[in-house]
Each structure stands twice: as structure tokens, then as C-alpha cells.
Amino acid sequence: MLGKKLVTAQKRGETRALCLGLGMVACSMMMYFFIGITIVPFYTKSVWTAETVCKVLKANIKDEVFCSNSEGSEDEEIFPYPCLQVWVNLTASGQEVMLYQTEDTLERNPKCSYVPDKLENSKEVKARIETIASNFKKYQTFPCYYDPGGTQTNVILSRLYPSKGLLFAFLWPTLMFTGGCLIIVLVKISQYVSVLSAWQ
């Protein structure tokens, strides 16, 4: 009687462990799919893949410009801000090119090197842009990214999705997938050993 209870409890435990492993594998596949349709296209779309050193030539704040948070947005979402233009000397080619914060900055406003998020306080936006301009004048040399194919003549300060970020995004689903497969394999080994012991 006790033996039957132990066998039943063992089967229940194996079933739960098997469901856990299958659930982990399914969740990891969903995470892979989500990363594949969101992050990977932005990573492959970016042409600024080569890293070099940029030296600041000039960092000027022009008159205020207007920027919209998104395409087709309402008038109340359009806000003014000082336009910061940073020109750098590209070490790789020796050209004088304009610097942008990220790929998204160029798409939102190609006239300015930095596009702030919408803030209610315009003084805070102005102070932030002045601080950024002073930092560029203070730190003359820094790493930047350029297009080795020559499609884009400008450079960016940082990529939205760098290689390390992409690898980190794939790390968690990979660990979950590996753990789920390991649980399934261990359950199958346990079942095989139980059948072998019962046969002997």
C-alpha cells in the first residue's frame, strides 16, 4: 500500500516537473519571438556599426525649434526647445560631420544633435541642453559610431541597441530554455531508471 502511494506521488512529481520544463521552454520561445520582432529589426536597420574617436569642433545652441513626439501627433504634443548642433572631426576619415545622440534623434529632427523628451518646464529643458553643450566643450574627445558603408555621413554618440545589449536581451530566454530542457531531460532519465528498476 505504501509502495503504491510512493509510486503515485513520484508520478505526480514527475508530471509537475515535466509541465514546468515545457512551460519554461514555451515562455522562452515567446520571448525569442518578442525580441525578434522588436529589438532585432532596429539593430539590423542601424548602419552606424563601426566605432571610432570623434573630436569636438564646435557645439552651438541655435534658435528654438519645434519638435513633435511622434508622427501625426496633435498640436499640443509639439513643443519648442533650443537646437543644439555639435560638429565633430571624424578620426576614421578626417571629415567634419554632425553628431547625433542616437539613431532616433536623426529621425525626429535632423537639424539638432539632441532632442529632449517633452517636459512641461521649458527652463529645465534649456538648462539640460546648456549642460550637454558645456560637457561637449569640456570633454573634447570621445568614442562615437559611424557608417563604414558611407550611406550616412553623420555620426551618433550611442546606439539604441548595441551588440552587448542585444546579447543581454537574448541571455534570459536562453537560460530559461536551457533550464526547461534540462528539467525535461532529468524527468525522462528518472522515468527510464524507474522502468528499468521495475523490470529488474
Higher per-residue pLDDT: 192 or 7: 192
Interatomic CA distance for residues 128 and 123, integer angstroms? 9
Confidence of residue 119 (pLDDT cuts 50, 70, 90): low
Task: Give the pLDDT of residue 68.
Answer: 52
Comparing 12-26, 106-120, 137-151, which segment has the lowest mean pLDDT?
106-120
Within this chain, do residues 59 and 19 fall inside the same structural domain, yes or no? Answer: no
* 139 shares its domain with 178: no
Whether residue 151 sits in one domain with residue 130: yes
Domain coverage including residue 75: 50-160
Based on the domain organization, do 14 and 111 belong to the same domain?
Answer: no
Contact predicate 59/86, CB 8 Å = yes
What pLDDT is stored for residue 153 in this prediction?
Answer: 84
- Total number of domains in the chain: 2
Contact 51, 145 (CB under 8 A): yes
Same domain, 3 and 101: no
Lowest mean pLDDT across 28-32, 33-37, 64-68, 81-85 = 64-68
Instruction: Kindly state whether residues 76 and 126 are assigned to the same domain.
Output: yes
> What average pLDDT does the segment 94-102 reach?
88
Same domain, yes or no: 125 and 151: yes
- Mean pLDDT over residues 4-21, rounded? 70
From 145, 160, 175, give the residue that closes a domain. 160
| The three three-digit cell numbers of residue 95, written as one number | 571629415
pLDDT in tens, 138-147: 888 899 998 8
pLDDT per residue as tens digits for the range 168-195: 889 999 999 999 999 989 888 887 877 7
Tell me what pLDDT residue 92 has: 66
- Do 102 and 114 reside in the same domain of the chain? yes
Q: Judge if 111 and 41 occupy the same domain.
A: no
More confident residue, 77 or 153: 153
How many angstroms separate the CA atoms of 95 and 78, rounded? 34
Are 143 and 98 part of one and the same domain? yes
> Using 50, 70 and 90 to split pLDDT, how confident is the model at 3?
very low
Return the top range by mean pLDDT from 39-48, 85-94, 181-190. 181-190
Same domain? For 124 and 25 the reply is no
Check whether residue 105 and residue 193 sit in a common domain.
Answer: no
